[in-house]
Amino acid sequence: MPRPKNNRIVHEPPLFTEFKPVGIPGRSLEQILLSLDEFEAIRLADFVGMSHEEAADEMGISRSTFSRLVEKSRKKIAEFIFQGKLLTIDGGNIHFRKNIIQCCDCGHMFKIKIDSVISKCPECHSENFLNLAGGFGHGECCREKSKDYKHKKGGNYATR
């Protein structure tokens, strides 16, 4: 029986979750699923430019696990680019550290800590929000995780 996967830490939900070649309807394309932890690995390694050791530390995983995630992510992204498939970001065993909230009335977007609660838009004072972490089925689980976030380092656990 395979070992259960540990939850990985993802900084914040992605703003965009689907990518496809121009001019081809998405329904006619084969889909590639990039999990949220694979998305985070590629973000940290290639967009932010962290070393694998720093990025693994940030995600709360081992360096070797991080390297495997980056390798899988790069293969999927290359397949998307060279074979013209639909790339969708979703799923994975993750918890968010931060959330992105969008006001449905004025369109203002703002980032908050995952354990923060906001009742009104700072721009227009509307109470009509789109919760990006909630769109992935996350929120309360991530808030609980952030309260006692433990970080694995060298076999020891240290709170952040």
Q: Domain coordinates of the chain in residue numbers? A: 1-95, 97-149
Instruction: Give the integer Cα–Cα distance in Å for 27 and 30.
Output: 8
Tokens coding 95: 């918890």
**Bridge partners (DSSP) listed for residue 111:** 100
Question: What is the per-residue pLDDT for 153?
Answer: 38
| Element containing residue 32 per DSSP (H, E) | strand 31-34
- Which CATH architecture group holds 97-149? Single Sheet (2.20)
Question: What is the per-residue pLDDT for 149?
Answer: 53
Question: What is the per-residue pLDDT for 131?
Answer: 87
Tens of pLDDT, residue by residue, the chain (160 residues): 676 677 899 999 999 999 999 999 989 999 999 999 999 999 999 999 999 999 999 999 999 999 999 999 999 999 999 999 999 999 988 999 999 999 999 999 999 998 888 889 989 999 998 888 888 888 777 777 665 554 443 332 222 2
3-state secondary structure of 63: helix
Tokens coding 72: 């899988």
- Residues near 151 by beta carbon (within 8 Å), at least 6 away in sequence: 57, 60, 157, 158, 159, 160
Instruction: Give the integer Cα–Cα distance in Å for 136 and 26.
Output: 21
DSSP state, residue 26: G
Class of domain 1-95: mainly alpha
The reply to whether the predicted model has a pTM over 0.95 is: no
